Amino acid sequence: MKIIADRFFESGRLSVCVKDREGSVLYQNEACLAVCGNMSAAVCEKGCMCCYTPNPDAPEREEGTQYYPNELIGGKYYDFLFINDGEHLTTLLYPLEDRHEADMQDASRYDLTKREQEIIRLVIQGHTNAQIAKKLFISIATLKKHMNNIHKKVPVSVFPR
């Protein structure tokens, strides 16, 4: 088990950052440095921290975890996990590029139009219907029509969680 854990943490994919109660960065692994740059001893207010929601009225209740799936940072998608032990805030960022590409590969096996492919890519990236309609300059009704066509062609198991 230790070998698997070491390989996972040393793979360079998982970004790890540890901050103190004030938000000053105490530790960043290489993957985190590549995503955020060197933040050593600086108070971090960018990247993953724009997702984190502390409770300044009840800091003693902040212990625990917060999970944010499929968040965009620096043009790339990540799953974020925050672990607050009361003294430190540890952030884990897991890149989703490979998962998104694998999901698109699954979807590409079906006879989708170019527009349906655009839509399914945005769905895989976690966009809402309203966001997709706005990005593609189409109405929600048109989007729903495309989604119905996609669902007729593509099994539900292909769609992201």
Task: Kindly state whether residues 91 and 121 are assigned to the same domain.
Answer: no
Task: Kindly state whether residues 124 and 85 are assigned to the same domain.
Answer: no
Task: Kindly state whether residues 84 and 14 are assigned to the same domain.
Answer: yes
Task: Kindly state whether residues 79 and 55 are assigned to the same domain.
Answer: yes
Task: Kindly state whether residues 123 and 148 are assigned to the same domain.
Answer: yes
Model pLDDT, residue 63: 81
Task: Kindly state whether residues 61 and 125 are assigned to the same domain.
Answer: no
Model pLDDT, residue 7: 56
Task: Kindly state whether residues 76 and 114 are assigned to the same domain.
Answer: no
Model pLDDT, residue 1: 44
Question: Residue for token digits 């593509």?
Answer: 154
Model pLDDT, residue 132: 92
Instruction: Print burial letters for 134-151: b (CB count within 10 Å at least 16), e (below 16).
Output: eebebeeeebeebbeebe
Task: Kindly state whether residues 38 and 89 are assigned to the same domain.
Answer: yes
Model pLDDT, residue 27: 92
Q: What is the CATH number of the domain that holds 82?
A: 3.30.450.20
Model pLDDT, residue 18: 92
Domain that holds residue 103: 98-158
Distance CA 45, CA 89 (A): 13
Model pLDDT, residue 31: 86
Task: Summarize pLDDT for 101-148 with one digit per residue, the tens.
Answer: 777 787 888 889 999 989 988 888 888 999 999 999 999 999 999 999
State phi, psi for 92 to the nearest 5 degrees. -115, 125
Q: Which residues of the chain have pLDDT under 50?
A: 1, 5
Task: Kindly state whether residues 83 and 134 are assigned to the same domain.
Answer: no
Model pLDDT, residue 79: 87
Task: Name the token pair of 47.
Answer: 């990247």
